[in-house]
Amino acid sequence: MAAQRLDGRLLAAQLETSMAAAIAAGLAKAGRPPGLAVLRVGDDPASAVYVANKEKACARIGAKSFGSHLPANISQAALELELHELNKNPAVDGILVQLPVPASINDRALLQVLDPNKDADGLHPLNLGRLLRGEVGPRSCTPAGVMALLKQAKLPLEGMRAVVVGRSILVGQPMALMLQQANATVTIAHSRSLNLEGICRDAELLVVAAGKPGLIGANHVSPGAVVVDVGIHRRPEGGLCGDVRFAEVEPLARAITPVPGGVGPMTVTMLLLNTLRMWAQRHALAEPCQGL
């Protein structure tokens, strides 16, 4: 039997519809739409595409986007000033610094200037601490997107043995915390883990965010496991692939995310949802997409 596909494109579209409705419903009371500011520094070509996608998504749901495209040689101080302005701007609910920034910029210091209550990416240390403590706050987008996909598929996480491969701040770490808060028993494996195959085979849920094309194959997956692939890479021969060798793993899995069309589309959606929630909170509106 073929594995269930965890379809991120479909869920993202459904959530966009809900978010558009929440904005339409709240607009009169709030007096303005939610605002997302995306700071782009320098001319990374992939960033240009990502930023454009975020702006288009804002437009689709009726949120306002504030783009700032700053030159690669901008000073740390000037960039921090820009962030301060956005922190103060009452039309802006969420702010995001598109990574990577040029090497001359200290992105950690930059993040500390960002108002944690406008942190659209959920990466400010205070928000990671809130996640750790189970407190309300904007959540890291990619792992929040994975949680939404698992929830949508009604996969019961309670007591499940989950393995997260990769321990980045962007994905692996917050992913592990979110799964744990759903009462899974979570292991984080990483580049220094010994016997990665054996560790992964213990998993009933395997989330792979290693950033290594095709790292995970059939030897890593127990029959019936749920497999979530966060990786996305351009193949030398064209097309995209993930961290999981899909053709090998799919016949074993109970459910699996495709690449593309799995986790990827959910990240922008959760960025919008963080922004919407901060907007709703500022205007004492009901929480949009509650329970996600």
Interface positions with a second copy (CB under 8 A): 108, 124-130, 132-133, 135, 158-159, 161, 167, 169, 173, 180, 183, 185-190, 192-194, 199, 202
Which residue out of 7, 93, 119, 121 is catalytically annotated?
121
Nearer to a second copy among residue 58 and residue 176 (C-beta)? 176
Which residue out of 54, 93, 118, 119 is catalytically annotated?
54
DSSP state of 285: P
Closest CA to 115 of 72, 85, 160, 150: 85
DSSP state of 89: -
Handedness of CA 217, 220, 225, 230 (dihedral sign): negative
Nearer to a second copy among residue 159 and residue 223 (C-beta)? 159
Nearer to a second copy among residue 65 and residue 127 (C-beta)? 127
SS3 content of the chain, % helix, strand, coil (to 5): 45, 15, 40
The minimum distance between CB 219 and a second copy, in angstroms, equals 17
4 is catalytic: no
CB 143 within 8 A of CB 174: yes
Find out whether the peptide bond into 100 is cis, omega within 30 degrees of 0: yes
281 is catalytic: no
168 is in an annotated binding site: yes
Q: Which two tokens stand for residue 282?
A: 């500022």
The minimum distance between CB 64 and a second copy, in angstroms, equals 29
98 is catalytic: yes
Q: Which residues are designated catalytic?
A: 54, 98, 121
Indicate the annotated binding residues for NADP(+). Answer: 166-168, 232
